[in-house]
Each structure stands twice: as C-alpha cells, then as structure tokens.
Amino acid sequence: MLDKLKAFLDKTINRVPSEGLTGKAVSYMLNQWSKLVAYCDSGELRISNIMAENAIRPFAVGRRAWLFADTPSGAQASATCYS
C-alpha cells in the first residue's frame, strides 16, 4: 500500500502547482516519507504525541500565571503547586 502511495505522490508532484495547497501537501508528505516508513515498520511508535502534550500542558498554561507571582511567597506557592 505504501509503494502505491509513493508512486502516486511521485506522479502527482509534477502535475500540481507547488505553491498550491495540494502541492504543499504532496511535498510535505514526500519530505516526511522516511518518517512514515519508520513509523509503519515499528509497532512500538505512537502516531500521536497527545500524551506528551498533556504532560507539559500545566507548565505551558502556568507560564502566564507565573508572571503574576510578584512576591517571594507567591512564587513559593506556585513552585509548590507545580512540583
């Protein structure tokens, strides 16, 4: 199935304008081809990074709140909550 997809992409890349959305999508897929093949060859890899994103979300959200920890005790309270 991947061989058929690769053949289709190789044929299509020359038929669509490279600056158009389809051209950009085909180019992106061809540029990421080795990663797709590596993912398909290994059953241990996850297709989504949502678990990693969820793990760092409190820190990304907290960055804005930390701007308002203008006292040492406020900073200490934030550090206690996030550790």
Indicate the domain borders of the chain: 2-41, 50-82
User: Per-residue pLDDT for 1 more than 80?
Assistant: yes
Write the DSSP assignment of 25-43 as a string of letters: HHHHHHHTHHHHHHHHH-T
For residues 75 and 62, is the Cβ–Cβ distance under 8 A?
no
pLDDT in tens, 22-71: 999 999 999 999 999 988 888 787 788 898 888 888 777 777 766 767 78
pTM: 0.56
For residues 42 and 30, is the Cβ–Cβ distance under 8 A?
no
User: Per-residue pLDDT for 81 more than 90?
Assistant: no
Distances from the Cα of 3 to the Cαs of 21, 41, 71, 74, in angstroms?
23, 13, 61, 58
